Amino acid sequence: MEFNLFIIPMTLIIVELAKGLEINKKYLPIVSVVLGAILGAAFSFYYGADPFVHIVQGIVYGAASSGIYDMAKIAKEGK
């Protein structure tokens, strides 16, 4: 099982919590990507795997989580 996939829901939850800190909404996708990279690095050190691969996967998963949020928001607004 690919444990890095847990980065997507973890990033979604943490970014939703970060909204309460009054971060400008235009920076939230950047926060998602950086958070994904950090979580990917944490997974690589925990599992003793190649850090480059896990960090890149974390960046992709962080970008995916921000895209999932944006698509859900657009669908909710009916645009």
47, part of any domain: yes
42, part of any domain: yes
74, part of any domain: yes
Contact call for residues 29 and 63 (beta carbons, < 8 A): yes
10, part of any domain: no
Q: pTM of the predicted model, to two decimals?
A: 0.77
Domain that holds residue 44: 28-79
For residue 50, is it left (φ>0), alpha (ψ between -120 and 50) or beta?
beta
Query: Looking at the 3D structure of the chain, how many domains does it have?
Result: 1
Q: What is the pLDDT along the chain (79 residues), one digit of tens a residue?
A: 466 678 888 888 888 888 888 778 788 888 889 999 999 999 889 888 888 988 998 898 888 887 776 666 667 776 5
Distance (Å) of CA 18 to CA 11, 12, 22, 40, 65: 10, 10, 7, 19, 14
59, part of any domain: yes
1, part of any domain: no
